[in-house]
Amino acid sequence: MSIRGESLPLSRPFRISRGAKTSADVVVVELAQGGMVGRGECVPYGRYQESCASVMAQLEGLQGQALDRAEVQHRLPPGAARNALDCALWDLEAKLSGVGVAQKLGIALPPSLPTALTVTLDTPGAMAAQARALGKATLIKIKVDDTAPLEQIHAVRQAAPEARLIVDPNEAWSPALLADALPELADLRVDLLEQPIPAAQSEALATITPLVPICADEACHTSADLPALVGRYQFVNIKLDKAGGLTEALSMLSAARAMGFGVMTGCMTASSLSIAPAMLIGAQSDFCDLDGAMLMVEDRPGAMPLRDGQLWPAAKGFWG
């Protein structure tokens, strides 16, 4: 097993309510066996007390040990480190067996997958310009904060009158702001509202009528979180970096459907090596938000093309 951290420059700053980044800091795991190499990538996230150093330390603690995917679920907690290792194991298994991951799982991948394209946090005018620059995008995700969210959303809606909209405050709103904003969000034809209030305040949603479906992101990491979300959220966002890999993400998808949740598949700002395994969940989701590599100055060789809101498969042998 080899482990390395990488800082991948972005073509422009990526701003959300918690701050801005100019690079994607990732950790890559490579597993070599039988002349084959399996790869996985993760994004350590400070929101969950992760850093590249802490994730690499978790992985280095497993050096020299023979582990399969089932054992990894027990040896590492849900999070970025387990995601990188789990995805590398899936990739290695596929390359050693000659059977692709999608085929092994019985998942029929479409020729291309429609995904949301993100308008990052800025002034309303600048956000409208971002939306116009997305051209034929049919699904737009709008990052907002608590300063002028309705003005920002109005600006994007005017710039993209036909697009479906997802609004994502990243926990920046209060329950009162949410309750006040929901009627206008419905009038603006917002399809989904992602984690508007802090995850720790999710109980407030039990008393708010969801005029727009509300999706749990920071409030939902693994299958174990799902029961507490019933009656509060209508959708859950499955991200491999939160779940700790494709293995748990598949379990989450099954459990969420059984509990009546709609499903969104999301990602962090990362290269296509992070996006490729998430595409297997995205192909089975109601909403797909897998444009994390769109802002890369340079994606990985053989990466997944993204054109007009459609995500196309990577080159053969890229992952899985």
The catalytic residues are 143, 239
Give the C-alpha distances (Å, rounded to integers) separating 303 from 186, 276, 318.
Answer: 37, 9, 7
* Exposure b/e, 172-190, CB count within 10 A at least 16 = b: bbebebbeebbeebeebeb
Helices 80-97 & 52-60 angle (0-180, nearest 10):
50
Tell me how far apart the alpha carbons of residues 69 and 253 are, in angstroms, rounded to a whole number.
18
